A and B are shown apart, each in its own frame.
Chain A
């Protein structure tokens, strides 16, 4: 017996639209099965995972805090993925942005004023861009595989950050904790509504980024170029578009947005640099990008859903006594079902029995 994947002659527009919802539904079912195997009541477990975090104002703020970097990064990744540039290293670009943006508050803590924060954000974007240039350059110049190079650079960035906050940037008055100084007030990204919760302006920046990129993709020649080259490099060359230039463009945009996510996280949610500044936002954003169908508006919704999985993980840890790593499991299951639904919309599975095979060879 052999299993084949066969392309469907035509695909259903209805199911294409429904695919993310089908994936989410299947994730819930898989989650319920998982919880019952762990001996928990699946209904109450799913409730505390996915509903409870939405019942309190403060936890909705937490949701926005977590959604901000996911949306920012995923919006940038959508540009990459649509143009056939597989940037898997957003986590590294986030860290590079976090580090570059922290130069002012860590090295020049006396600098205070309205200009500090904008400069930090710009430096953060520049850091992410610079870091994303490396895989782009290697791809264009040496034809290296950007999946490998961008991924490997993540670990370089993580170790560099680790060295930095344990070494030269460690807070001298910090009792040897591996942390930098606390940022001063003018280096902190303010809360949207400090009375009700922690959500900071990073979320607003994410919404603005999503709208701008959506506009670029759907209305401008740039967006057209991205879509043409992503679908057919030969037709793109015929149109006079340069694939190499677009690779740089896509990596620079996604690097800038990942860097912005990094510095927004550091200056908005944390307030200092630590050895780890992200619970894998750069990787989870890949799931967000695909769940949002590589459409920046869809990505806003998908970012909220995936942010919920982080919150649910924390909630489940408290109320169910399950490891918060279960959030990663949920994220993995979501990606699995998203990709599976998308694949099955375009392809169908055919099982070829040995007998039929033998007949085919009969002649």
Chain B
């Protein structure tokens, strides 16, 4: 933890925040934060979810106004009143959740954020030029809906670069990329740095921060708890700074030898499905089976049919024949989600707000969401009237909150008031609480801080070891290697054969995710 400022260009930092504070109600989201970003450096902002990273960045970018404190830009004190002003100063932002319209072309999407009088051809030409200069190949005429996530991110970055910013803020940019795509992004970022641009890089992937960044500022509970040169740190020491104590190492005690002889609890046989909308992916002859006691990891870049597979297994979308999905030996292909839950299955979708939970409903109400049919006797009273038993719900909620260490600000807050990690702990706990024998989780730790992620992963491993079959769909390879017994990959709606974890390595899974591994039937690979 060095206190000295490292800048590659001038003495004055490009951007300097001093004692920046933001208070929401009684919560100090940011507490007297000091941050200096030098010219031509890649500066990492590290911190758990809810540490105040987003709030800090929003204040720098003008999306939020600080309660107190100052921002100096190139030595001048400035008040950034809105994002447009942030952009005009030279601060560009690439968001974690892309703000692109699927039905428009790349160039049209870029035009939306620029001077509306610039002709589309000019934008397309400039986008192409910038793309070539920085190794971001993109076809400006392509419909965004047809592009991969990596390509969409390139559009966002090009859109940002078109405004010629001095400081580029990237929010968790690699969370949606394959290892190979991430490598390409790093090349681009290093080129930008060599041109004297500064980059504020938000990530929780410690390895890439160590590899890429010149300096790191670590936040915890809204305060700066350390500044360091990440290259001189280990991933463990960075994690310790973020979380405040040592990260719990996943205890993956080996599956019982007997597990391999157990009958499959979940089987999918020949699942094919046409796309259900213009931007949805079709599924092609998917086969898998998961036995008691094991975790099947499904790797893949977002948008390759994981969401569709999840909805097919959960029963939100029914199959043509009952025998396509078997849950604990029962043909479930024509049974809806409540019926599949009653067979012992539990589901945690990728989208927390608006799919796994209703944002403006309380935790107790959100508990009822997935439990009203399986736990009818506990949560509903009054016979045919089906009255909601508030007290049982409150009891079960507080049990889950304790079990999963969900941190919340009020007794029974709305789901949207929880941070991503805490809500996810609650949603996983909601399902674990009924000891499901089959569990399928899509992106369990997407956007979740390291501490909560470790907690969630351990809970999934423990569930499997207690005799349940678990499927984890994830883009996070570290996670899959941490907890899976077998790994398969999804690409273009195809699922590869699964490979035992002992025989798996990063390169191979990267190739499988790209659809070039032999374990994907060659005649199918590549079709959309």
Residues of A within 8 A of B337 (CB): 237-240
Question: With an 8 A cutoff between CB atoms, is B338 at the interface?
Answer: yes
Residue of B nearest to A225 (CB): B372
* In the assembled complex, B468 has its CB within 8 A of some CB on chain A: no
B interface, by DSSP: helix, strand, loop or mixed?
Answer: loop
By a CB distance below 8 angstroms, the chain B residues around A195 are none
Chain A residues with Cβ below 8 Å from B358 are 227-228, 231-232, 235
A113 contacts the other chain (CB 8 A): no
Q: Which chain A residues in 317-363 approach chain B with CB under 8 Å? A: 352, 356-357, 359-363
A363 touches B370 (CB 8 A): no
A8 within 8 A of B: no
Closest to A227 in B: B361
In the complex, the answer to whether A356 meets B84 with C-beta atoms within 8 Å is yes
Roughly how many angstroms separate A352 CA and B62 CA in the complex, as a whole number? 14
Q: Which chain A residue shows the least CB distance to B356? A: A238
From B164, B165, B347, B388, give the contact of A224 (CB < 8 A): B388
| Nearest-CB residue, chain A, relative to B63 | A9
Report the Cα distance A237→B64, complex, angstroms.
Answer: 35
Known: A10-B25, A359-B85, A363-B164. A221 touches B355 (CB 8 A): no
A361 surroundings in chain B (CB, below 8 A): 88, 114-115
Min CB distance A211 to B, Å, is 14
Is the CB–CB distance between B380 and A221 below 8 Å? yes
Chain A min CB distance to B341 (Å):
7
How many B residues touch the partner, as a band? 35 or more
Cβ of B385 under 8 Å from chain A: yes
Q: Does B188 contact A (CB under 8 A)?
A: no
Q: Confirm or deny: B109 has a beta carbon within 8 angstroms of a beta carbon on chain A.
A: no
How near does chain B come to A155, taking the closest CB pair, in angstroms? 35
Given A239-B370, A239-B372, A240-B338, A363-B165 contact (CB < 8 Å): yes
Q: Is the interface of A mostly helix, strand, loop or mixed?
A: helix
- Inter-chain CA distance A224–B362, complex, in Å, is 12
Q: Which residues of A contact B361 (CB under 8 A)?
A: 227-228, 231
CA distance A256 to B314 in the complex (A): 36
* Contact of A359 with B84 in the complex, beta carbons under 8 Å: yes
Interface flags for A38-82 (1: CB within 8 Å of B; 0: not) read 000000000000000000000000000000000000000000000
Assess whether B181 is interfacial by the CB under 8 Å rule: no
The distance in angstroms between the C-alpha atoms of A24 and B29, with both chains bound, is: 38
Alpha-carbon distance between A363 and B115 when the two chains are bound, in angstroms: 9
In the assembled complex, the CB of B359 is this many whole angstroms from the nearest CB of chain A, namely 7
5 contacts between A and B (CB under 8 A): A10-B24, A219-B388, A222-B386, A232-B354, A363-B88
Closest 5 CB pairs of A and B: A360-B84, A240-B338, A221-B386, A363-B163, A361-B115
Chain B residues engaging chain A, CB cutoff 8 angstroms: 24-25, 64, 82, 84-85, 87-88, 90, 114-115, 163-165, 314, 316, 336-338, 341, 347, 349, 351, 354-361, 365, 368-370, 372-373, 380, 382, 385-388
Contacts from A to B (Cβ < 8 Å): 9-10, 219-222, 224, 227-228, 231-232, 234-235, 237-240, 352, 356-357, 359-363
